[in-house]
Chain A
């Protein structure tokens, strides 16, 4: 591994994900990662070869033979002899001992120093922590090889002293890991509970914190180990190593000195170094992949929604349509016909999440799409926008928007339609704003692209919109970053963004679900006002009947990817016919009091 990686923080894994992951049977999952297992096996083999070196060769690694130098492989020497007639295979094996032991020494020193100081600093905090972080900055500030050169000038070429110093230099890697873990966990309730119930500090630390931080430490250790080997080899190459003992770096160096007399000498130590490095890297990568994999529950949930999605769609039953007296005579703005959306699986089957969905939304209408989680309502909304998650595709049907089939238009056209003619208000306000850009920039960017206005004009419009959606101080919000806003304000910003380019159709995906009850009401008012002022058509996806009752003209009920009942809101509310619709209504708390009347008289 490169020495340049010494100071790079890229190697420290993300702590929070690691902590979460470590709690879920990491080892078991790791065993399924073939590359990681193979790498680990190679490493184990190398270590075993080093330990059992005397059994694998009959030669003394330091036995010189004046007459026998620079022999090629064969004739009693598996890999030939080096510049002093020493057997290369023996030197590689015994060299493995020194090289690996040296790297182990550095790793252990770094780990012990880093972990203990991390534990103490994290748990007890205060001055110990500030001293430690000061020292850490100091150590991380020093370029490794230069320090080792200087140390060697003072201490002499001993491998062990150099590796100890190197371990000290690398301790910060472990320190930061453990400190973050400990200070994160320290405040968790169960630690307090443990303290209250009298569990000693030591046991708290050992039990709760160390188990959590185990895997990241192994990961870090394997990286540090690899770096230690690389630094050793580098020092040997510069001629600064301890030349009296066999190490892979010394063998390599001897090979270079004799490069022109016997070119194949550099191959063996080179291979040893590279193979070990690659194995360590692959092992570390596999470990990190598994840690990250298991640390994304939200992603998995979403993925589950996307792929496994609906339970298999039940046998077809017809949609119950409530007839509409004097239906609008003009063509609907959005006409979905027989839409089916699915996710092809690796085994060739296709999981359908939306099946045979037909829907009409007239201009100016507010249409509610209601159903439970997993019913396919959001998938339907996304397919109108052609923004299905990766893997999803429209299997059948058409989505007619103002005469064009959105499932078939070219992407450039779709890009035009999005934002300009169809807008989207997402569910979770905080995660739907780009955290690195200001609100103002995120509002003005689409306006400048779609409406072609100047920067100043876009800004003016944005400020006005922010005012319109009820944000008290538009200028301040314009200049803010998403993390500086509350949930309610962020949702207003998203609504402002959605209407900013004067769309015809607004698709609102559970716009109030993530908000407090009081804010919900305000947002709904806002939507209603906007709809009346701007005359936009709204498709609102929700699982909340209250929202539907408040806003919607038309309602469609979805169950397991199908629309089971559709019609004017009033009519559907008054007389739900489909059993599923009825069960939804029944699930709503009714108006009756929570407790029955008191008994009038107590029995004598």
Chain B
């Protein structure tokens, strides 16, 4: 709106008085020097106590100070880190890992299998969002200082992936008893938290760990992570040269970011659309009928919604499996066409010629009122009247998971590992399956995904995907594009399935 323009008169006089002597002083922000990385993050660190840490947007906090047992490559391939080798037994219920020697935490405690076992148990019992990832772990024991044996209650194809995330992070157990456990990390990672310079919730400062054992992954002498709470402030920081790289909230400012000389790394990590939970019609009779759910899928002009709600950034889809998942099928991207007439016909066939009323929760503070208005309008077109109840914050989850509503609009993550997805969305006791919908077919596919070989699991995942789409368990609209952006001094390799790259994949560009 306001381009660079000289502002005459009073303003110049005033500002000159203030800024004059400062013009020549260097600003303390991001200069693109190879020694400091300034990251823009969109959430503060919930805690620094490793057994309670979250992942996703908080992964960089974790990766700055902790090592994990394994590491995922940018495409998701599991690679050694603190664990140098591993193997499953025949029925995939026992995982044996060989651990690295010579690694010490910053308090001097040496890392070994017994510490690793304690960390795993602590995470399982902890309060991380992802504590449930270790739900299948029956025990973790140290057979020797370098041999860790993990017993699982049932095969878990995603288990190794979890060990490359928060669940596999290693902290010195002595730190947990300290009263500052949640704000002062004691890890073995590439950086150390500078508590004096850090303003909790706003700006976190890390300095290089001089004793780090994997110098190849330590690229900066200082890392600063600044928390931004709105897209406007992120854009301001980008345009003001205050960050080297940042995550973004939405796509409304992509052109401006590019204008500022930043590179946009597009990611499709989530799917936006309706979750039609009540597939058995327990709360909403109509939703129990597959034709009704299919009709709902046909009510939406996905291309228009993509343009309206995501500024055109992203891809329309009718499946919930992402493109980098073995379960993905290209033909399922557009299984349903925008056809309100056909939708109404289907509704009539199902016994609802005059439509019906559907109760859904809304959280306008997160998604905006426009989103919900659009959905309401599209459904009204085929005769379904939506009754919203607005929630003001995370309390919406309590309502959704109670379950209090037969369906909801939401933006949910898509995991490249099918089993991880299934555990979240599709299994009988999955968190986002509040009505515990299942049947023989679905259970069969899920079982193969869990215990079968790589090829078998992939086939089963595809089949499950097709089943979901054909039976309209969901009504996906599109995969919105998330954007991670970086400046001209910084190289970035994005991470499959994660909103932000892994910290060691952010490197200074040699100019």
Contact yes or no, A66 B365, CB < 8 A: no
Contact yes or no, B373 A64, CB < 8 A: yes
Q: Which residues of B contact A256 (CB under 8 A)?
A: 232
The answer, yes or no, to whether B354 is at the interface (CB within 8 Å) is: no
Contact yes or no, A259 B368, CB < 8 A: no
Contact yes or no, A157 B392, CB < 8 A: yes
The stretch of A79-87, A126-134, A332-340 in contact with B is A79-87
Cβ 8 A contact of B252, one of A69, A157, A239, A257:
A257
Given the known interface contacts A66-B301, A66-B378, A153-B392, the answer about A240 and B252 at a Cβ–Cβ threshold of 8 Å is no
Question: In the complex, what's the smallest C-beta–C-beta distance from A206 to chain B, in angstroms?
Answer: 44
Q: Which residues of A contact B301 (CB under 8 A)?
A: 66-67
Q: A156-B392, A157-B365, A259-B252 are in contact. List 9 more A-B contacts (CB 8 A).
A: A64-B374, A69-B307, A69-B370, A84-B371, A242-B390, A243-B368, A250-B369, A254-B369, A260-B255
Contact yes or no, B232 A84, CB < 8 A: no
The answer, yes or no, to whether B146 is at the interface (CB within 8 Å) is: no
B side interface size, CB within 8 A: 27
Closest to A152 in B: B392
Mark each residue of chain A from 76 to 117: 1 if its CB lies under 8 Å from any CB of chain B, else 0. 000000111110000000000000000000000000000000
Q: Which residues of B contact A297 (CB under 8 A)?
A: none
Contact yes or no, A260 B370, CB < 8 A: no
The answer, yes or no, to whether A244 is at the interface (CB within 8 Å) is: yes
A383 and B282 CA atoms in complex are apart in Å by: 99
Contact yes or no, B311 A261, CB < 8 A: yes
Mark each residue of chain A from 28 to 71: 1 if its CB lies under 8 Å from any CB of chain B, else 0. 00000000000000000000000000000000001111110100
Question: In the complex, what's the smallest C-beta–C-beta distance from B399 to chain A, in angstroms?
Answer: 13
Given the known interface contacts A66-B378, A84-B374, A244-B388, the answer about A261 and B252 at a Cβ–Cβ threshold of 8 Å is yes
Q: Which residues of A contact B304 (CB under 8 A)?
A: 66-67
The answer, yes or no, to whether B308 is at the interface (CB within 8 Å) is: yes
The answer, yes or no, to whether B376 is at the interface (CB within 8 Å) is: yes
Counting from the closest, the 8 A-B pairs by CB-CB distance are A84-B370, A243-B364, A243-B369, A64-B373, A263-B1, A83-B370, A64-B377, A66-B304
Closest to A239 in B: B365
The answer, yes or no, to whether A438 is at the interface (CB within 8 Å) is: no
Mark each residue of chain B from 348 to 375: 1 if its CB lies under 8 Å from any CB of chain A, else 0. 0000000000000000110011110110
Closest to B393 in A: A153
Cβ 8 A contact of B368, one of A83, A240, A261:
A83
Mark each residue of chain A from 240 to 253: 1 if its CB lies under 8 Å from any CB of chain B, else 0. 10111000001000
The answer, yes or no, to whether A258 is at the interface (CB within 8 Å) is: yes
Q: Which residues of A contact B307 (CB under 8 A)?
A: 69
Mark each residue of chain B from 154 to 177: 1 if its CB lies under 8 Å from any CB of chain A, else 0. 000000000000000000000000
Hey, which bits of chain A sit against chain B, CB under 8 A? Answer: 62-67, 69, 82-86, 152-153, 156-157, 239-240, 242-244, 250, 254, 256-261, 263
Contact yes or no, A66 B305, CB < 8 A: yes
Closest to A238 in B: B365
A256 and B311 CA atoms in complex are apart in Å by: 15
Q: Which residues of A contact B364 (CB under 8 A)?
A: 243-244
Given the known interface contacts A66-B301, A66-B305, the answer about A257 and B368 at a Cβ–Cβ threshold of 8 Å is yes
The answer, yes or no, to whether B471 is at the interface (CB within 8 Å) is: no
Contact yes or no, A254 B368, CB < 8 A: yes
Contact yes or no, B373 A86, CB < 8 A: yes
- Cβ contacts A to B, 11 pairs, < 8 Å: A64-B377, A66-B378, A69-B307, A84-B308, A84-B374, A85-B308, A86-B373, A157-B365, A240-B365, A257-B368, A259-B232
The answer, yes or no, to whether B202 is at the interface (CB within 8 Å) is: no
Q: Which residues of A contact B252 (CB under 8 A)?
A: 257-261
Closest to B254 in A: A260
Contact yes or no, A69 B308, CB < 8 A: yes
Cβ 8 A contact of A83, one of B255, B308, B376, B378:
B308
Q: Which residues of A contact B378 (CB under 8 A)?
A: 66
Q: Which residues of B contact A257 (CB under 8 A)?
A: 252, 368
A67 and B303 CA atoms in complex are apart in Å by: 10
Question: In the complex, what's the smallest C-beta–C-beta distance from A267 to chain B, in angstroms?
Answer: 10
A257 and B256 CA atoms in complex are apart in Å by: 14
Closest to A261 in B: B252
Mark each residue of chain B from 42 to 70: 1 if its CB lies under 8 Å from any CB of chain A, else 0. 00000000000000000000000000000
- Per the 8 Å Cβ criterion, residues 304-336 of B in contact with A are 304-305, 307-308, 311
A65 and B304 CA atoms in complex are apart in Å by: 10
Q: Which residues of B contact A67 (CB under 8 A)?
A: 301, 304
A157 and B363 CA atoms in complex are apart in Å by: 11
Contact yes or no, A62 B232, CB < 8 A: no
The answer, yes or no, to whether B505 is at the interface (CB within 8 Å) is: no
Q: Which residues of B contact A82 (CB under 8 A)?
A: 370
A575 and B3 CA atoms in complex are apart in Å by: 89
A386 and B470 CA atoms in complex are apart in Å by: 100
The answer, yes or no, to whether B253 is at the interface (CB within 8 Å) is: yes
Most B CB within 10 A of own CB, among A82, A84, A240, A258: A84
Question: In the complex, what's the smallest C-beta–C-beta distance from A217 to chain B, in angstroms?
Answer: 36
Question: In the complex, what's the smallest C-beta–C-beta distance from B312 to chain A, in angstroms?
Answer: 10
Contact yes or no, A243 B377, CB < 8 A: no
- Per the 8 Å Cβ criterion, residues 289-307 of B in contact with A are 301, 304-305, 307
- Per the 8 Å Cβ criterion, residues 98-121 of B in contact with A are none
- Per the 8 Å Cβ criterion, residues 231-257 of B in contact with A are 232, 235, 252-253, 255-256
A258 and B364 CA atoms in complex are apart in Å by: 16
A157 and B370 CA atoms in complex are apart in Å by: 17
Q: Which residues of A contact B305 (CB under 8 A)?
A: 66
Most B CB within 10 A of own CB, among A65, A67, A260: A260
Cβ 8 A contact of A62, one of B255, B308, B373, B390:
B373
A260 and B392 CA atoms in complex are apart in Å by: 26
A254 and B388 CA atoms in complex are apart in Å by: 20
Given the known interface contacts A64-B376, A66-B305, A263-B1, the answer about A243 and B390 at a Cβ–Cβ threshold of 8 Å is yes
A256 and B232 CA atoms in complex are apart in Å by: 9
Question: In the complex, what's the smallest C-beta–C-beta distance from A80 to chain B, in angstroms?
Answer: 14
Question: In the complex, what's the smallest C-beta–C-beta distance from A547 to chain B, in angstroms?
Answer: 58
A372 and B358 CA atoms in complex are apart in Å by: 91
A256 and B392 CA atoms in complex are apart in Å by: 20
Q: Which residues of B contact A261 (CB under 8 A)?
A: 252, 311
Contact yes or no, B370 A64, CB < 8 A: yes
Q: Which residues of A contact B390 (CB under 8 A)?
A: 156-157, 242-244
Closest to B378 in A: A66
Question: In the complex, what's the smallest C-beta–C-beta distance from A21 to chain B, in angstroms?
Answer: 37
Question: In the complex, what's the smallest C-beta–C-beta distance from A557 to chain B, in angstroms?
Answer: 58
A64 and B380 CA atoms in complex are apart in Å by: 11
Q: Which residues of B contact A63 (CB under 8 A)?
A: 377
A256 and B230 CA atoms in complex are apart in Å by: 11
A240 and B364 CA atoms in complex are apart in Å by: 10
Most A CB within 10 A of own CB, among B307, B374, B376: B374
Question: In the complex, what's the smallest C-beta–C-beta distance from A160 to chain B, in angstroms?
Answer: 15
